[in-house]
Structure 1
Amino acid sequence: MSRVQRCFESLASAGFLRHHLSGNQLELLSHGRAYAEQLQKQWLSLRPLAAHLSGISEIGSTSPLEQRFSFARTTEFSSLIQRLQKDHPRKAKCPTVIKHKSNSSSFCLRGNPLFSVKSPATILTTDFLVEPDRALEHFYNIQRESKIWWMRLSSNPSRIRIVPCDLPEEFDPKSYQAIDLRSQAGEVTVEELSMVRLGGDDGPFRLPDGRTGESVQPTVIRSVIELETATCALLLDGCDHERDAQSLLLNCALAPYQCGIACLLEESGLSGDLDDLCLHLKHVLNHAGLRLCQGKGFFAAKDNGHLADHFAESDMLGVPYTLVVNDQTLKNGLMKLRSRDTRLSETIHISDVPDYLLNIFKK
């Protein structure tokens, strides 16, 4: 069995995705959808000064090449610019950034031979309208920024690489450029970047230059992320590692569940007090905005073997940290904080929760 197939099976058993052999399609399950939601939030927070436009219609069924280079002269893109000028007049200048989300039952990124994602797909698009004389400079800067972003989200940053795209002969390299950002975990394209230089007095629209006020025909640099495909690529990346035990090494900011709570029942007479303590910790962590595991919010282990089994399940869910309380916690306030990545535990005091964890996730 190949490493990729083993990853598919592990992710399926953990409730992240389902692999349909017919058509080699992947379908996100509950944990996978929760992970995709966190990835989308990260995208929304990226470049916070962008103009966000909602209610974009579904992308039409055009060829990948048309999707990549002809979008700037379509009626849909003209409507997008009109929306920008109407809803965000102060940002209708050059340079500026537009973000919008759409759904498509036919859109697909090129260069993904490993799998397809069950439709409809969620398309996250960022359009950069830049000065034509600085277009290549912007294009290279955006490439670098995007690669760094994906490297931060990946469990193995060295797997993210930039792949140049060959242009057809009829496309002038001075007016068109394109690269893919790919994860080497399955050679999956996670983002497409394309530059289209419109030029000419008969261009579809013009915007004032933000520095000089002169009316210019901007060059458009478009970033396209297919959310479900990118989610599956990052999940494969987190699952494909050299550790001796199954686990999912998800980025702490993206993990659907950031923290778990477990109590070790060493003295049966204290179970009620430990339950109350765990519920209190659950309330404190929820109030701090940390995402906890499902269910009642904590796990009761009858012995160390039972606790070890719980750690194994948490590791496959990608939970970065687990708080472990026992009867001694009731006496001195000390508990263990177990790390998914190192499998080691450190001792912290209850008064340090949740600030200690929040500082970890900010790093």
Structure 2
Amino acid sequence: MFTRCVRNVLSRRASTLQTSRCSLAVALQHTRGRCSKVTSTSDDVDQVRTLLQLCVDRYYISPGPTNTELFERGLSCSYGPLGMELRRNLLEQWWHCVTKSRAQVFGINTLSSSKDREARGRRQLRIVESEHLKQILEQQELNKEQLIQQIQTLLQSSPPVRTSLLQGALEQYVPSLELVNRKLPYGLAESGNFGVIKRSFSVSPAEVTQTSLVWFCSPRTSSQWLDHWNRQRLKWWRKFALSPSDFSSMDIPEQERVEEASRGVRIIYNFPWGQEPLETLWSRGDAELMQTHKGARSKLQCRDGRKSVPHIVSVTGNMDRGLMAFLFNSLQQLKREDRRQKLQHRKVLKLHPVLAPVKVALDIGRGATLELRQVCEDLLQELMEAKISVWPGYRETMSTSMEQLNAKYDEMGVLFTVVISENTLESGLLQVRSRDTTIKETMHISEIKNFLSRYISAADNI
């Protein structure tokens, strides 16, 4: 709405307000740097198109070209039910890994502050009420200089959109010192949705789901800790990948380093169009910590064999792009011949069992429909109580063949399809089909909950 208001009014006063429009456009630019670019082949283009369409068809993202563009750019978009569940699973795994990997990592939740505003300088997004801006722009008696001055005053008085979690962790450093008895190393972890500055008006102002670990350590060990967290994070990304080699890390060239950092590393994914960063790690020294706390060295010093102000290793991730990376990595397009020797194309989202939004789909075969539905309802409740996500396919009113259902569930990434039939009513036996092998097994209904729980737990511990 902010952008639309500026465009509508300035279009009527283009000759006098061109300077203002340009300055506002620059303030809202988004820098999206890719690590490297490759020449896209027709297969790459087809793969991107196939995945985007699959994500819309199978409830991962909402339809619409703007929403699809946000998703493809690694920005927060309008997720569908399965996309939201996948993102939740991904964030849970990140949180568990970071906070449980070492004893001294604590979760925090911080708010934007005046120091946040100062740290980012002038180049930032701000939250502006469109009506206030419209009132200024519609004052015909204002000349160009007065108009620019009033717009600048409005922007300066408007709250900034937070674009980093680092500052909040720096402010929490002193309060958390007593928690660790003033001993190093330790870390503060946080996640949240924050605004990004765009390069153009091609999509509306957007957000990313950001994760942050700020690690406080001895100055003499900061380089080793950067290497440690690089190994840990790369190992974590590869753990959930179907093709781990698509995830890698690379040192950040000196000319691309932020001013405060002595070293930097990116964890990247090899998308069809080129490499994109998923997480960025910096060895940042102590300057930002000193600046945040006004150089009060005595209250910043810790015990680590000697008194010193800690150095900072920061790990910042984009989980929206990470979600997209896992979707690309898990997509398989298979070909096979059916019994009539007709070539069949099969698309499968082989998401890791821990990340898969739906673990099992319940459907009914031939038999007394009311009784079979009741069995499905009972099994559904049992699985949900065990925190196993279920897709209630038996509630569908349209008649669909099992072959069509299997194709649908494969594209959704459902791990197992359970079919309850007349045989289940007689003997308690049901049919279980695996997404990854397509093998169908017969199992007693009393065993299905433990089977699924063991399968997911085993996959998580690999």
Q: Aligning the two structures, in what range does the TM-score lie when normalised by the shorter sequence?
A: 0.7 to 0.9
In 2, are the aligned partners of 1:249 and 1:341 still within 8 Å (CA)?
yes
Partner deviation per Cα, 1:29-83 (whole Å, 9 max, x = no partner): 212122111111111111324211113328766679xxxxxx89x8645313134
Distance in 2, matches of 1:297 and 1:83, equals 51
Partner deviation per Cα, 1:186-227 (whole Å, 9 max, x = no partner): 4232111111123899785634235x4x32222211111122
Equivalences for 1:171-190 in 2 at 5 Å? 176-186=262-272, 187-190=275-278
Cα 1:227/1:302, change in 2 over 3 Å: closer
1:323 CA drift (Å): 1.4
User: 1:68 corresponds to which residue?
Assistant: none
User: 1:101 corresponds to which residue?
Assistant: 191
Residue range with higher mean Cα deviation, 121-130 or 48-57: 48-57
Match of 2:360 among 252, 259, 270: 259
Partner deviation per Cα, 1:258-309 (whole Å, 9 max, x = no partner): 11111112x3xx222211111111111011111112xx56456998x61221
In 2, are the aligned partners of 1:57 and 1:102 still within 8 Å (CA)?
no
1:35 aligns with 2:86: yes
Question: In the alignment, residue 177 of structure 1 is paired with which amino acid?
Answer: R
Question: In the alignment, residue 98 of structure 1 is paired with which amino acid?
Answer: L
Equivalences for 1:159-174 in 2 at 5 Å? 159-168=246-255
Question: Secondary structure of the equivalent of 1:351?
Answer: helix
Distance in 2, matches of 1:302 and 1:22, equals 29
Structure 1, unaligned stretches of length 5 or more? 65-70
In 2, are the aligned partners of 1:16 and 1:28 still within 8 Å (CA)?
no
Cα 1:126/1:92, change in 2 over 3 Å: farther
1:287 aligns with 2:390: no
Match of 2:327 among 235, 247, 254: 235
Distance in 2, matches of 1:261 and 1:201, equals 54
Partner deviation per Cα, 1:205-259 (whole Å, 9 max, x = no partner): 634235x4x3222221111112222212222222255564122111111111111
Count of residue pairs brought into register by the alignment:
340
Cα 1:240/1:351, change in 2 over 3 Å: closer
Q: Which structure carries more helix by proportion?
A: 2
**Percent identity (aligned):** 16
User: 1:143 corresponds to which residue?
Assistant: 230
User: 1:67 corresponds to which residue?
Assistant: none
Cα 1:250/1:171, change in 2 over 3 Å: closer
TM-score (normalizing by structure 2): 0.65
Question: Secondary structure of the equivalent of 1:105?
Answer: strand
Equivalences for 1:339-350 in 2 at 5 Å? 339-350=434-445
User: 1:351 corresponds to which residue?
Assistant: 446
Question: Secondary structure of the equivalent of 1:247?
Answer: strand
In 1, are the aligned partners of 2:183 and 2:303 still within 8 Å (CA)?
yes
User: 1:324 corresponds to which residue?
Assistant: 419
1:106 CA drift (Å): 1.7
Distance in 2, matches of 1:195 and 1:37, equals 29
Distance in 1, matches of 2:278 and 2:203, equals 12
Question: Secondary structure of the equivalent of 1:255?
Answer: coil
Distance in 2, matches of 1:131 and 1:8, equals 45
1:19 CA drift (Å): 6.2
Equivalences for 1:107-256 in 2 at 5 Å? 119-168=206-255, 176-186=262-272, 187-198=275-286, 204=295, 206-209=300-303, 212=305, 214-239=306-331, 244-256=345-357
Distance in 2, matches of 1:153 and 1:221, equals 25
Residue range with higher mean Cα deviation, 337-346 or 199-208: 199-208
1:12 aligns with 2:12: no
Distance in 1, matches of 2:427 and 2:68, equals 57
Distance in 1, matches of 2:195 and 2:258, equals 28
In 2, are the aligned partners of 1:154 and 1:237 still within 8 Å (CA)?
yes
Match of 2:170 among 78, 85, 92: 78
Distance in 1, matches of 2:91 and 2:438, equals 29
Cα 1:172/1:82, change in 2 over 3 Å: closer
Residue range with higher mean Cα deviation, 40-49 or 10-19: 10-19
In 2, are the aligned partners of 1:279 and 1:297 still within 8 Å (CA)?
no
Larger radius of gyration: 2
Equivalences for 1:299-310 in 2 at 5 Å? 306-310=401-405
1:28 CA drift (Å): 3.8
Question: Secondary structure of the equivalent of 1:290?
Answer: coil
Question: In the alignment, residue 269 of structure 2 is paired with which amino acid?
Answer: S
Distance in 2, matches of 1:201 and 1:194, equals 14
